[in-house]
Amino acid sequence: MALPSVRSVLRVAIPFISVVGLLSLRLAGASQDSGSVIPAESRPCVDCHAFEFMQRALQDLKKTAYNLDTR
């Protein structure tokens, strides 16, 4: 079995190393911006947002139904 040439190895290795390097830089940059992140204790959970959205939608539906009934 013939060994791959240096040129073909570099053709695959250089883009792979570049992608891994860019991904690691992006992850490192994300951890440095932690000063602007809201702590989990003060953030409402996803379920709370969904519940509030559904409450507002239900209120809007009730108002619409009442307006249609009064006409």
Per residue in 10-28, pLDDT tens?
777 777 787 777 777 666 5
Q: What is the pLDDT of residue 35?
A: 61
Q: How confident is the model at residue 58 (pLDDT cuts 50, 70, 90)?
A: very high
Long-range contacts of 28-37 (CB under 8 A, 24+ apart): none
Q: Average pLDDT for residues 25-41, to the nearest whole number?
A: 62
pLDDT at 32 over 80: no
Q: What is the pLDDT of residue 16?
A: 75
One-letter identity of residue 49 = H
How many residues in total does the chain contain? Answer: 71
